[in-house]
Structure 1
Amino acid sequence: MTVICRLDDGPLRFNALRRAVNGITQRMLSITVRRLERDGLISRAVEPAVPPRVEYALTERGRSLHRVLAELVAWTEENLDEIRRDRERYDDAARAEELLAFPA
């Protein structure tokens, strides 16, 4: 998901993409871009140079996935406060049940 989101602003070379996807190893990014290319979500363009310049970009299918991901992120941001409140309520109730089941 992160690679798809980072490529939405435009094509990136491998190292720029690696910097944009904070915390990913070179090996994991290599595996990820290969899988995304295989699925037709990103394209890989090689410019003949020494060393070769490789650039990754979203395909039309990748852009359509990004639109869905953007909606998911927007939904999450809109509902995050309520989700946090529900989690706290749930956790408080679970702790209360645990105290009743195993009194000190």
Structure 2
Amino acid sequence: MNGNLRVEGEQVVLTVGGDFQGRNAADVRDALIECLQNGHHSIVVDLTDVSAINATGLGVLISIQQRLESLDGKLSLQGVNNSLKQVFERTRLCQTFGI
């Protein structure tokens, strides 16, 4: 995975780098699922260093958000650049993720 995972108090911050698609998206999904299994219900995904995202990456974010909502948790996104914001706008996911 192109990224870094750190725990800051009650919150987990996952910094993702490169393209958030394909194998990298699967690795991010696995890391986030492990966080959930370890009892973390507040997760921030930092997309500052992400150059592209596709349906696979969006699917990972949606599925993790749904799991967290069922646990009264929260998924937050930060560092969404203009290019990524356009993808979220085109897919009508801005409101879903509070962008």
Structure with the largest fraction of strand = 2
TM-score in terms of structure 1 length:
0.22
Q: Which has the larger radius of gyration?
A: 1
